[in-house]
């Protein structure tokens, strides 16, 4: 937790907040904080700044808060991701938030196991929790938007062309086509497939929506590693 993120409901006055839950435990056990300490804080979807710990007790902590810095810029990216297996989904949500992705679409694909859609980790509160862990790690306050699309074809035919409009559209896909471009400044829509990859039909449909295949080399990376590697190369 490199940034203590405050919810609107934590505020008891414009410059005062009360913290309980997981964050209080963290202050006690990891930070080993004491009254009077200064901490980095941010308000979810708001500014970042400093807080002074007015009191730290077993049941709650009270903070005097000054928020005066903007959060870091997001990447100019919409990321489409074939729904990963639940354990990986949790980590990827953290990674996506920590790397500054502003919008994530979790998408069905032929090679996504149907059971993955049953995971409790797709509940909005569970998604939000993982995103917040990623924001705390990276020192950001802005929650990414997460869109869930259980049907590939209607999404790619009807919604994707508009979503990708005005951006460079890319599909990460191994094969004999161009290398993933580097150091872009323009907006990008990037689609990353499931373990085992997109099937040819899906690559064709994504191409019809304006997304061109690019590859990262002959090594096959885990989805989680591929997400990070592609973002680090693109921006």
Residues that bind its own copies (CB under 8 A): 2, 72, 94-95, 98-100, 137-140, 182-183, 216-222, 225, 228-233
Cβ closest to its own copies, residue 98 vs residue 189: 98
> Do 160 and 209 form a contact (C-beta atoms < 8 A)?
yes
Cα distances (angstroms) measured from residue 194 to each of 110, 113, 172: 9, 9, 10
Cβ closest to its own copies, residue 106 vs residue 231: 231
CB of 152 to its own copies, least distance (A): 24
Q: Which of 190, 85, 88, 96 is nearest to 143 (CA)?
A: 96
Q: CB neighbours of 129 closer than 8 A, spacing ≥ 6? A: none
Beginning with the edge strand found earlier in the chain, give each strand of the sheet holding 4-6 in spatial order.
4-6, 38-43, 48-56, 61-69, 16-19, 11-13
CA–CA distance, 175 with 178 (Å, rounded to integer): 9
CB of 195 to its own copies, least distance (A): 9
> Do 58 and 76 form a contact (C-beta atoms < 8 A)?
no
The DSSP 8-state label assigned to residue 85 in this structure reads: P
Cβ closest to its own copies, residue 95 vs residue 109: 95
Cβ closest to its own copies, residue 114 vs residue 219: 219
CA–CA distance, 64 with 38 (Å, rounded to integer): 9
Cβ closest to its own copies, residue 173 vs residue 205: 173
CB of 190 to its own copies, least distance (A): 13
Cβ closest to its own copies, residue 17 vs residue 231: 231
CB of 100 to its own copies, least distance (A): 6
DSSP H helices, the chain, are 21-29, 86-99, 124-138, 152-154, 160-164, 200-208, 223-234
CB of 27 to its own copies, least distance (A): 16
CB of 2 to its own copies, least distance (A): 5
């Amino acid at each position: 937790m490199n940034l203590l993120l405050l919810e609107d409901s934590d505020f008891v006055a414009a410059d005062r907040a009360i913290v309980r839950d997981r964050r209080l435990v963290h202050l006690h056990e990891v930070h080993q904080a004491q009254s009077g300490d200064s901490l980095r804080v941010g308000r979810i979807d708001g500014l970042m700044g400093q807080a002074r710990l007015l009191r730290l007790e077993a049941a709650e902590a009270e903070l005097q808060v000054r928020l005066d810095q903007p959060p870091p810029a997001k990447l100019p990216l919409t990321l489409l991701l074939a729904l990963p297996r639940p354990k990986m989904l949790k980590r990827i949500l953290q990674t996506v938030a920590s790397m500054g992705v502003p919008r994530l679409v979790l998408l069905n694909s032929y090679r996504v196991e149907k059971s993955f859609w049953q995971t409790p980790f797709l509940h909005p509160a569970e998604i939000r929790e993982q995103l917040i862990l990623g924001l705390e790690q990276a020192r950001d306050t802005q929650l990414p938007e997460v869109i869930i699309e259980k049907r590939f074809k209607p999404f790619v035919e009807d919604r994707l062309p508009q979503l990708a409009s005005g951006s460079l559209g890319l599909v990460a896909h191994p094969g004999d086509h161009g290398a993933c471009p580097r150091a872009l400044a323009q907006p990008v829509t990037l689609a990353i497939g499931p373990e085992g990859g997109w099937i040819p039909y899906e690559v064709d449909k994504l191409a019809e929506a304006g997304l061109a295949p690019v590859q990262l080399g002959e090594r096959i990376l885990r989805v989680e590693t591929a997400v990070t590697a592609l973002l680090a190369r693109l921006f």
